[in-house]
Amino acid sequence: MKRIPAIASLMTPFPYSVDVSEPASKAEAAMAEHEIHHLPVTDGGTLVGVVSERDLRPVLHPNRRDEEPRDPPVRDVCVREAFIVELSEPLDQVLMEMAEGRFDSALVVKRGKLAGIFTVSDACRAFGEFLREQVRSSGGDDAA
């Protein structure tokens, strides 16, 4: 019988992070450099939240002409109520909670310390690979 894997098997281990005191522009630059959309946020090494491109965009690149761009510290734009799960949490439970809570990412910890990150993009990629494997093992993708 197959077992549902733990989130550890699909997370991105040892993710980049940003400190709450850093300017938002530094978080944006790190995301661009590493081609990622979410950054765990720490305060003196302690995990405190997550920041995404979506959080930064309206502050650093406002749509309105009368609004000046700002560069506040990450603490002012990050999400403090981030979805945090243990390394051993079953993948199905994480996926269901992400869907129900409409979370874009899960911060993965091991005994309270940041161990990885799992995003909606990771979930989509894994599901796509799962579907391809199902088709290969069933002998093709012929329509009924």
pLDDT at 9 over 80: yes
For 21-140, list the strands marked E by DSSP: 38-43, 46-52, 84-86, 105-110, 113-119
Q: Retrieve residue 56's tokens.
A: 């930064």
pLDDT at 141 over 60: no
pLDDT at 144 over 60: no
Locate tokens 């965009």: which residue?
57
Q: Retrieve residue 137's tokens.
A: 């093992």
pLDDT at 143 over 60: no
Spell out the domain ranges in the chain. 7-138
pLDDT at 115 over 90: yes
Q: Tens of pLDDT along 41-53?
A: 999 889 999 999 9
Domain 7-138: homologous superfamily in CATH: CBS-domain (3.10.580.10)
Lowest-pLDDT choice from 10-14, 63-67, 122-126: 63-67
Model confidence at 140, pLDDT cuts 50, 70, 90, reads low
- Alpha-carbon gap, residue 46 to 41, rounded angstroms: 8
Q: Tens of pLDDT along 39-97?
A: 999 998 899 999 999 999 988 888 877 677 789 999 999 999 899 999 999 999 999 99
* pTM recorded for the entire structure: 0.83
DSSP letter assigned to residue 89: -
Please give the backbone phi and psi of residue 133, each rounded to the nearest 5 degrees, phi first.
-65, -40
pLDDT at 1 over 60: no
More confident residue, 139 or 35: 35
Model confidence at 116, pLDDT cuts 50, 70, 90, reads very high
